[in-house]
Each structure stands twice: as structure tokens, then as C-alpha cells.
Structure 1
Amino acid sequence: MAEPRRRADARRNRDKLVAAAGAVVAESGAGASLEEIARRAGVGSATLHRHFSSRAELLEAVLRDRVQALCDQAEELLTAGSAGAALATWLGDVVAHAATARGLGPALTGYDSEFSPHKMIRTAAGRLLARAREEGSVNPNATVDDVLQLANGISLTTESLPDPATRAADLLALAVDGLLLPSGRESGPDVR
């Protein structure tokens, strides 16, 4: 009976470590202190190292969780009333994620993994953009690359600012006005 509880405890500790790492990375960047991550998770350094053999493995887990959450949200938004508003909402979350990722991508350069966050994000964006095109609420010339490069540019511009997610949302709101066609603007949310 003690074995299943230990597994549940181990899963909880791992989840706490990933959540704490996400928060610390958002504040301090990918080079954040592993000791600070363990402290915020309420576990010891040995527990952190038992779950993650390297910094890159921990950072990948953070990025994997964040990207999966964005993809799950995109899936839910595919049934939203307004496809243009759904795309704008999702892009707001993408720029907030990217603005607070603070070097996660570059920190994983060269790390050998099957995980492909760019492919996942591109697929999710493509589905939302296709639906907005069908609805006629988005500029028909906008491509997935355009949309993701726009989000990336906004994120890179704001990631070193004191409140990067808020500033990114403000800039995205300006950009969305140029992305959505008039019918999409009327029903679109305020992404700020």
C-alpha cells in the first residue's frame, strides 16, 4: 500500500517542481537557480535531481507543459462563436507565454529530445487561422508564419521589460486591429 502513495507523492513533487520552475524562469530566466526552484516547490535539491537529471530536462518539462496548455486551449477555441476572436484570444496567450519564457528555447538548443514545440504551436495556429479564414474574419493574406512571427516579434520585444506579459498584450491588441477584418473586430475580445 505504501508504494502507490510514494508514486503519487513523487508525481506531486514533480508537478510542484515544474510549476515552481515555470514561475522562477518567468522571473529570472532560464539560468534560474535550481536551489530556488527546489525551495519554491517545497522540496530539497536531491528531490529535484532525482526527478530531473539536468537543467535542460527540467526546462523541457516546463516548456512541454506550457506548450501543451496552449495547444489544449487552441483545441477548445476551435468551437468558439467567433473564429477571429478565438484566434486573437489564443495569440494573446501565446505572446504572454513567449514573453515570460525568458530564454527557454535557447537554453534547450542542442538538447536531444523528440519534443517539437514549434510543430505543435504551428499546427494549433494553423487550425485557428483556417477557421478564421473560413469565417471571413481574418485577412485572407495572413499566413501561419505571419501570425507566429508577429507573436514572436512582440514577445522578443517585451521579454526584458518589467511586466512583459502586459506589454505584449498591449502590442498584440494594436497588431490584431490590422489582422482582423472589420467583421472580426466587432466581435473580437479586448486581448489586453
Structure 2
Amino acid sequence: MRADARKNRDHLLAVAGTAIAEEGVDVSLRDIARRADVGLATLLRHFPTREALLEALLRTGFGELTAKAKELEASGSPEDALVSWLRDCVAWTTEYRGVTVLMAAAIEDTESALHTSCVALRAAGSRLLTRAQAAGTARDDVDGADLFALVAALAWLGDQPSLAPRADHLFDVVAGAILTDPANTDSGITPPPAT
């Protein structure tokens, strides 16, 4: 790809990211083109469908989260690595309004342009979970599919105006439920009071 074409593509992705963060994944392509100060035909030349645009935008973020999981695997305690990745994943997913619906659909749809990225993201989380389970610090009855679903659920909470103020608390509740002893982690999770 020529340098000017790559610059235009990167600009369109940046504008699309902002538009989706503000208005959600259903923002019109025409609005994205207008915000980018290009014609709709220019946007469609780079991204012929909404899914192609979303795949390009989300693939970058999914790739960063997958790389982050690899870094965390090599450092820190298994439970801290798992909770840190889970927190980053939920925060990133919450940034793009409505993306959880796309992720949930794409993980099951092998024809989706987002499928490969979602599978890689789920696998990255699964490795961190398996590592924590092997260390005895995470429940054995949770798997990578559960973790992926919990990311979507927690991100959905953060996307709901009436529930957003409770999202951090509920993250801690869920993360604490995954860990076998949340008191031994530096993740910021406060164990429930003794009854």
C-alpha cells in the first residue's frame, strides 16, 4: 500500500473509532466519511462494508490485547496477570459502544470478518486463565468461553448509563468470583467481608 493510501486509511480508522466510541457501532458510514472530510466513495474504497471497517478497527485493538496477554503470561503472578488482562479487555471493549454484540456473534460465525480476531482474543484469555488454574488461583469450572462471555457482559454493563456507575464494583465481584483467593492478588480486588 502506498504511503498516502495508508495515511488516508489510518485517518479513516481514527475517525471511525471516535465516531463509534461516541455513537456506537451503528453510526452511519456517511457520517464517518463526513467527519473524515472525505466522500462516501472514498470510505467505501478502503472499507467496502461496515463489517470490513469494524474488522480493521477492532483487529488492531484485539491484536494489542492478545499481545498484552502474552506479556502478562511472562511476568507477574498468574492471578494478577489474569485480572489485569480482564480489566484491560473490558475497558477496551467498553470504549466502542455496541461492540459486545458484534463480538458475541462473530465468535460463533466462522464467515464473519471478525471471527479470527475474536478467536485469537478468546485464546489469549484462555491461556491466562489456564495458567491461573494450574497455579490453583482460579476456579477450575470456568473456561475461555466463559471468560469471553464475562468480558462481553462486563463491557455491556459499562455501556448502560444507569449501570455504568456500578461497573467497577461489579468487575471486582466477577473477578473475585473467578479467583480462588482474591485476597492474595495485587489487582485491587477487595475480598467480601466475613459473615
Q: Under TM normalisation by the shorter chain, which class is it? A: 0.7 to 0.9
Cα distance between partner residues in 2 of 1:37 and 1:83? 41
More displaced stretch, 25-34 vs 168-177: 168-177
Q: TM-score normalised to the size of structure 2?
A: 0.77
Aligned: 1:139 with 2:134: no
CA drift at 1:42: 5.4
Which secondary structure does the structure 2 equivalent of 1:116 belong to? helix
Cα distance between partner residues in 2 of 1:72 and 1:114? 17
State the match for 1:118 in structure 2.
118
State the match for 1:190 in structure 2.
188
CA drift at 1:180: 1.7
Give aligned pairs, total: 184
Q: TM-score normalised to the size of structure 1?
A: 0.78
Aligned: 1:29 with 2:24: yes
Change (3 A) 1:169 1:133: same
Aligned: 1:59 with 2:59: no
Cα distance between partner residues in 2 of 1:48 and 1:103? 21
Which secondary structure does the structure 1 equivalent of 2:74 belong to? coil
State the match for 2:174 in structure 1.
175
Pairing 1:48-87 to 2, within 5 Å after superposition: 48-87=43-82
Cα distance between partner residues in 1 of 2:166 and 2:95? 11
Q: CA RMSD in A?
A: 2.9
Cα distance between partner residues in 2 of 1:185 and 1:25? 37
Aligned: 1:38 with 2:36: no
Cα distance between partner residues in 1 of 2:32 and 2:162? 21
CA drift at 1:38: 3.3
Cα distance between partner residues in 2 of 1:188 and 1:172? 15
Tell me if the contact between 1:30 and 1:103 (Cα under 8 Å) persists in the aligned partners. Answer: yes
CA drift at 1:115: 4.1
More displaced stretch, 110-119 vs 12-21: 110-119
Gaps (5+ residues) in structure 1? none
Change (3 A) 1:53 1:141: closer
Q: Provide Cα deviations, 1:35-59, integer angstroms capped at 9, x if missing partner.
A: 4433544545443222112222111
Cα distance between partner residues in 2 of 1:37 and 1:22? 9
More displaced stretch, 85-94 vs 30-39: 30-39
CA drift at 1:186: 2.8
Q: Provide Cα deviations, 1:131-167, integer angstroms capped at 9, x if missing partner.
A: 1122222223332233222222222233232895x75
Gaps (5+ residues) in structure 2? 190-195
Cα distance between partner residues in 2 of 1:167 and 1:9? 44
State the match for 2:192 in structure 1.
none
